[in-house]
Amino acid sequence: MTLEGEHGTTNVVAWKPVADQQRQPLLESKLMVAEGRLEAEHGVRHLIARRLHDLTPLLGSLDVRSRDFH
């Protein structure tokens, strides 16, 4: 996964054991928090995930569909 924010992009890496254990939030979340270790080298940032949290219920009735700008 890639996160984009005011400071650029960060790659979120969920290695297979984490992805397998936390499959539901990984595949089904519309709003997710990733906890882990931040690694940065030569301007490239990676968050090595150890926990994923599905916060989709906090969205309520907010429209979260993707928009195609092309």
- Asked if residue 28 is part of any domain, the answer here is yes
Per-residue model confidence (pLDDT) at position 66: 74
**12 falls within a domain:** yes
Q: Could you tell me if residue 61 is inside a domain?
A: no
pLDDT of residue 67: 73
Give, as one character, the DSSP assignment of residue 56: G
The mean per-residue pLDDT over the stretch 44-69 comes to: 86
Q: How far apart are CA 13 and CA 42, in angstroms?
A: 17
Q: For the whole prediction, is pTM greater than 0.85?
A: no
Q: How far is CA 44 from CA 3, 5, 18, 20, 55, in A?
A: 12, 14, 22, 26, 27
What's the number of domains the chain is made of?
1
Structure confidence at residue 59 (pLDDT): 86
In a domain, 38, yes or no: yes
In a domain, 59, yes or no: no
Residue 68: inside a domain? no
Percent of the chain with pLDDT over 70: 97
Residue 67 falls inside a structural domain: no
Euclidean distance between CA atoms 15 and 25, whole angstroms: 14
Name residues whose C-beta falls within 8 Å of residue 1's C-beta, 6 or more positions apart in sequence: 11, 12, 14, 34
Domain limits for position 11: 2-54
pLDDT band at 64 (very low <50, low <70, confident <90, very high): low
